Structure 1
Amino acid sequence: MKKEKTIRLFLNSILTCGLAVLILNCSTAKEALEISKSEKETFKQVKGDTIKISSDLTEYEIIIIEPGFYTWLNSIAKPEGYYSQNFLENRNYIMVLEWNQRVLQPSRFSPNLYELQIDYSSQIDYGYEVNYKLYNYFIYFQRKYNQRLGPFVPRI
């Protein structure tokens, strides 16, 4: 009887802790999605920004034509050096996989948002700058269009 009561108390404690963690995680995710006034202003831009992402060390480049992205990258995004290259590569790989899946499903996901596949391999070192700008484009895109390209909350 005493052992059964101890087990029941232990299970109740685990359940209570799990519920508290769930509530905290929900509120943290909600806070991370809040868009500041200055960020909303960059999303409203209609003038086309063109960003060419390339590396002197590799032959790879990405061209992003997205109104407001250049302004957002220079005024709102975390500065270069904030993230490690390993972090950026891991996140980019996950988001590229999701992006490419959505390109292949135009009846389910807007072909206006997901136009072209991205050729990105975890076996290639694209350099820091390419990974930094690609990662930040994904964050910008998710926040602007209220999308989710993986299990992570798109936070700044």
Structure 2
Amino acid sequence: MKNFTYKICVFLIISILTFNNCKTSKNSLSISNEEKISFSKIEGDTITISSDVTEYDIIIIEPGFNFWLQSTARPEGFYSQTYLENRNQIYVSEWNRRVLQPQRYNPNLYELEINYQNNIDYGYEVNYKLYNYFIYFQRKYNQRLGPFMPRI
């Protein structure tokens, strides 16, 4: 009986250690020095994303985002428009869900709903910059808006 109890204790200890190691590696983000610089910027940084073809505008007022976009984000053309649209739909849905729950999610982070619709072609530039804003936001504020880690 003592041998059986000993085996269970060893198994539990190994399980707990393994679980903690997996949990830590899944949740940790590797933040580069350039990202740390962009995250620490405090002056206003406004980007207007617009498309002449679709007549839609997005205005992002986030200190450091433009610097991060130029220095850290993947270049335009790296992702397909379909990829960006699919990810943006996931991120926008979760974002809007959080906007509607200010008692649960920080209302200073999630202030306004985003009106993004699947059936509208916003063009590559709008989707590219919106997607990168979501990546920037998730990395800077340690948030997760989807089932995958926000990576570059």
Scaled by the length of structure 2, what TM-score is found? 0.83
1:148 and 2:138 are equivalent in the alignment: no
Can you give the 5+ residue segments of structure 2 that lack an aligned partner in the other structure? 1-20
| 1:2-48 deviation digits (Å, cap 9, x = unpaired) | xxxxxxxxxxxxxxxxxxxxx88974x456x1101111111000011
Residues 40 and 105 of structure 1, relative CA distance in 2, 3 Å threshold? same
Q: Which amino acid aligns with 2:146?
A: G
Q: Distance in 2 between matches of 1:48 and 1:120?
A: 25
1:102 and 2:98 are equivalent in the alignment: yes
Scaled by the length of structure 1, what TM-score is found? 0.81
Aligned counterpart, 1:50 = 46
Aligned counterpart, 1:92 = 88
Alignment of 1:4-153 (within 5 A): 27=25, 29=26, 33-153=29-149
Q: Which amino acid aligns with 1:152?
A: F
Determine what percentage of the aligned residue pairs are the same residue: 70
Residues 129 and 25 of structure 1, relative CA distance in 2, 3 Å threshold? farther
Aligned length: 132
Can you give the 5+ residue segments of structure 1 that lack an aligned partner in the other structure? 1-22
Aligned counterpart, 1:19 = none
Residues 101 and 30 of structure 1, relative CA distance in 2, 3 Å threshold? closer
Q: Following TM superposition, by how much is the alpha carbon of 1:51 offset from its aligned partner in structure 2, in angstroms?
A: 0.3
Residues 25 and 57 of structure 1, relative CA distance in 2, 3 Å threshold? farther
Regions of 4+ moved over 4 Å: 23-27
Q: Following TM superposition, by how much is the alpha carbon of 1:101 offset from its aligned partner in structure 2, in angstroms?
A: 0.2
